[in-house]
Structure 1
Amino acid sequence: MVDSALRRTRGLLAVTAALVLTVLSASPAGALTPRHRADEWWFAPWAISDIWKITRGAGVTVAVLDSGVNARLPELAGAVLPGGDTTGQGTDGRTDFDKKNDGHGTAMAALIVGQGGGNSGFAGVAPEARLLPVRVSHSTGTTDAAQVISEGIRYATDHGAKVINISVAADADQEIDECPGLVKSAIANAIQHDVVIVAAAGDEGDAANAPEYPASCPGVLAVGAIDKYAQPWKNTQRQSYVTVAAPGVRVGWVGQSGKYYPNGWGSSQASALTAGGVALIRSANPRMPAREVVQRISATAKDVGEPGKDSATGYGVIRIYHAMMKNEYPVAANAPNPVFERFDASQARDGGRSAPASTPLAASGKQGGAGWGTPILVALLAIVVIFVVVFFGLRARRRSRRPGPPSSGDPAPDATPHRPASSAGHPSPHSGRPQFLPPDETKGR
């Protein structure tokens, strides 16, 4: 009897151990590395293939505040979490309501977490990140851009996003600090929760060139658009708030219909690609605070154009590998951090009013039920099962070695343990409609 029980115990242990190994070794976005399209030219100068040997974005949730996302596309299979809607329409963010551009939000999502499938075979730069869609535009509900954007930022923060991409905008010309108070408050709350907010600088650099929020807001990493030769796109906004630049010319576009548009222009794409880059940085450096992430991004950017900061490309082209590899490319703790210096100055002027007290996020339950949360829980439960089985298996074995009771025909004492009691107007997309840096001697590093 004891030998039989021990054999069953060993069998259960083997099965449980296999379960744990399977869960812990599983890739959140699938076992295969997606292949990018040949025309996704930013993969080469950014050395994404080399970066993917270190991380593909696992463990990071990126929120996309936009027109919603068509989560049913094969290009996004398994990568999109249930999200939210701050336009008053009550969706979960997984439907794209942008008909004019065939899905602006879907296009941004594919640039970040594209899985390399579908008709297009389009791959995002952080395919193992999880995407949280928050619909803030193309609504038939509220027309208050500041309200829907601020609520969208708060929703993303409350649901575990560590990176927020906002490729929509509204006019900030008449706002204090070029940012409405509601949005400033939501940004301050996100920063308190260690979130990096990335936003498109704007697409009217050759026209009105007026400041647009949320890119213009203190605390936001504002991104301009460049081509593959590191030249500013003619329409990219020329503003003092522009921090860095990223690919935004001839950047392909996956529409919500599944159609692929090979040529796209806009700071929208530049912002989304940067947000994907931030996800890679945060995945490789899970203990690096948002302030340091942003500091390293601006400090390690490749200066282009005239020496120093300029209004079109900021401090230069983002270099993901440089920003990610802290030991290889050190940045002094007291190095300039312009995004947060401006944020801190704004907070000081406001007396901290735009950063209301808030309850920190819980350690779990904020990832929308996907990502690594569920596998870790399963693994922990499996470990508990192993402990219980081993403990009582050994206990049974020790009892089998004790002198037995006098033979009386009665069964042996039961060794089974007792179980315990159990702004006005809709925010508009930066897209234009659906060119960065050729590979150099350091492969984009």
Structure 2
Amino acid sequence: MRGGRGGRAGAGLLAGGTVLTALTATLIGPGAPGAAAATAQNCQSPAKTVIATLPWAQTLLAPQRAWQFTTGANVTVAVIDSGVDAGVPQLKGHVLPGLSLDTADGPATADCLGHGTMVAGIIAAQPVSGIGFAGVAPGAVILPIRVYSDTGTTSSEDMAKAIVAATGAGAKVINISAVAQASSPDLATAVQYAQAHDVLIVASAGNDNQQADEVTYPAAYPGVIAVGSITAAGTVAQTSETGGFIDLVAPGDTILSLGIGGPGHVYDSGTSFAAPFVAATAALVRSYYPTLTAPQVKARLETTADHPAKTLPDPQYGWGVIDPYRAVTAILTPAAAPVPGAIPLPQLNVHSPASARHLSLGFAGAAGALVVLVLTCSRLLARGRERGWR
């Protein structure tokens, strides 16, 4: 199992064709220019530089357009990662105590590596006046499940335990920004357990496309949303894994989010940071449509994505680029769910239910005004005839 950052960061262990349950993982890898520097102990330095400009990912997705309908309130998103720094100003009050499976290195609300804090920031960072960056679902609550030690390693067994723990703690969406080269019984069983409890799992696809076009896990398990990475130009990132298991893509190149130990921001790249854009959008949908099941939420995200002009799902883009506004506001027919190769796709009405109500009220008001006009004209005509008007 490997982390989703840019560059190769380790390898899953195989022995004679038999998949070992304990697949080692690492989250340490070369970040994008401007990434916070790591210390000799792999820990990031405190982030003190605040970047006020609006990041390209938030410009592209414009999640604030959906906030008039929902900010993701009442939805818990589990971040299975290196922990989340709960003291970061833009996350204060939105991080639960969580659970650490590696207690020797600290609680789940501490994050030496900074990886989990970046992921959590993309999901639920609070809007602040004068700062362009904010999470896609600022009303959501983060449940940190720490599975990585300060050396950046974990196992598929611990990842499986984390999925079960997140499910038991009430998470409705789970973000996993790490990959394994092969399936394992523990991981597969844990994914099935979460799905049986109506939990939607979103996972990064991985960053080894330049070395080999691999199928990765848990992204490739049925029902899991596998997320690839795109650049600011809209092209699939060179390192992003591709293949038939890709469901959606999201910004993942030179992504700005929260650093640890202060109010500052950092940059990094990889499918690790594409996945939380999708997880946060799922939180928006689960908040606004609380009766939808996890498979229905997945279908909605795919149907409302910005589809490429290709046969779908496409090996590089899947069903397309995640679209938070359309995911919340599109009015879909019951049959409007993705079907591989189905072209054209269902027509979407992007008027929200609220807008539809306003439209109905507008028609009702116009009809009432017309009735008043007709009655007024009738009275005027009657008086005109009495006075001999022509």
TM-score by length of structure 2 reads 0.69
Q: Which residue of 2 aligns with 1:65?
A: 80
Separation (CA, whole Å) in 2 of partners of 1:118 and 1:257: 20
Q: Aligned AA for 1:214?
A: P
Separation (CA, whole Å) in 2 of partners of 1:94 and 1:117: 22
Q: Report the CA distance shift for 1:156/1:164 in structure 2 as closer, same or farther (over 3 A).
A: same
Task: Say yes or no: does 1:87 pair with 2:102.
Answer: yes
1:30-53 per-position Cα deviation (integer Å, ceiling 9, x unaligned): xxxxxx953323334333222010
Q: Which residue of 1 aligns with 2:69?
A: 54
Q: Report the CA distance shift for 1:90/1:266 in structure 2 as closer, same or farther (over 3 A).
A: closer
Deviation above 6 Å: which 4+ runs of structure 1?
Answer: 118-121
Contact preservation (8 Å) 2:208, 2:239? yes
Q: Report the CA distance shift for 1:135/1:335 in structure 2 as closer, same or farther (over 3 A).
A: same
Separation (CA, whole Å) in 2 of partners of 1:265 and 1:110: 14
Q: Which residue of 1 aligns with 2:335?
A: 332
Q: Report the CA distance shift for 1:37/1:48 in structure 2 as closer, same or farther (over 3 A).
A: farther
Q: Report the CA distance shift for 1:337/1:278 in structure 2 as closer, same or farther (over 3 A).
A: farther
1:369-404 per-position Cα deviation (integer Å, ceiling 9, x unaligned): xxxxxxxxxxxxxxxxxxxxxxxxxxxxxxxxxxxx
Contact preservation (8 Å) 1:244, 1:313? yes
1:31-86 per-position Cα deviation (integer Å, ceiling 9, x unaligned): xxxxx953323334333222010111100000000000110111211110010022
Q: Report the CA distance shift for 1:183/1:119 in structure 2 as closer, same or farther (over 3 A).
A: farther
Separation (CA, whole Å) in 1 of partners of 2:95 and 2:218: 24
1:350-380 per-position Cα deviation (integer Å, ceiling 9, x unaligned): xxxxxxxxxxxxxxxxxxxxxxxxxxxxxxx
1:234-279 per-position Cα deviation (integer Å, ceiling 9, x unaligned): 1100122111101112311322133745543211111011111111
Q: Report the CA distance shift for 1:337/1:147 in structure 2 as closer, same or farther (over 3 A).
A: farther
Q: Which residue of 1 aligns with 2:283?
A: 279
Residue 231 of structure 1: CA displacement? 1.0
Task: Say yes or no: does 1:123 pair with 2:138.
Answer: no
Q: Give RMSD over aligned pairs.
A: 2.7
Q: 1:114 aligns with which of 115, 122, 125?
A: 125
Q: Aligned AA for 2:162?
A: G
Task: Say yes or no: does 1:229 pair with 2:233.
Answer: yes
Q: Aligned AA for 1:299?
A: T
Task: Say yes or no: does 1:133 pair with 2:144.
Answer: yes
1:183-202 per-position Cα deviation (integer Å, ceiling 9, x unaligned): 11111111111111001111
Flag structure 2 segments of 5+ consecutive residues without an equivalent. 1-50, 342-349, 352-390
Q: Which residue of 1 aligns with 2:360?
A: none
Q: Which residue of 2 aligns with 1:349?
A: none
Q: Which residue of 1 aligns with 2:299?
A: 295
Task: Say yes or no: does 1:170 pair with 2:180.
Answer: yes
Q: Which residue of 1 aligns with 2:242?
A: 238
Task: Say yes or no: does 1:41 pair with 2:41.
Answer: no
Q: 1:158 aligns with which of 154, 158, 168?
A: 168
Q: Aligned AA for 1:135?
A: R
Contact preservation (8 Å) 2:251, 2:277? yes
Q: Which residue of 1 aligns with 2:16?
A: none
Contact preservation (8 Å) 2:77, 2:171? yes
TM-score by length of structure 1 reads 0.61
Separation (CA, whole Å) in 2 of partners of 1:49 and 1:121: 11
Q: Aligned AA for 2:210?
A: D
Residue 137 of structure 1: CA displacement? 1.5
Contact preservation (8 Å) 1:76, 1:113? yes
1:292-328 per-position Cα deviation (integer Å, ceiling 9, x unaligned): 00011122222226442222211111222222235x2
Aligned residues: 293
Separation (CA, whole Å) in 2 of partners of 1:108 and 1:90: 19
Q: Which residue of 2 aligns with 1:213?
A: 217
Q: Which residue of 2 aligns with 1:148?
A: 158
Flag structure 1 segments of 5+ consecutive residues without an equivalent. 1-35, 173-178, 339-441
1:145-176 per-position Cα deviation (integer Å, ceiling 9, x unaligned): 1111100101100001000000122221xxxx
Q: Which residue of 1 aligns with 2:28?
A: none
Separation (CA, whole Å) in 1 of partners of 2:115 and 2:267: 14
Separation (CA, whole Å) in 2 of partners of 1:75 and 1:83: 18
Residue 139 of structure 1: CA displacement? 4.9
Q: Which residue of 1 aligns with 2:191?
A: 187
Q: Report the CA distance shift for 1:335/1:169 in structure 2 as closer, same or farther (over 3 A).
A: closer
Q: Following superposition of structure 1 onto structure 2, how do residues 282-361 of structure 1 map, counting pairs within 5 Å?
A: 282-304=286-308, 306-325=310-329, 328-332=331-335, 335-336=338-339
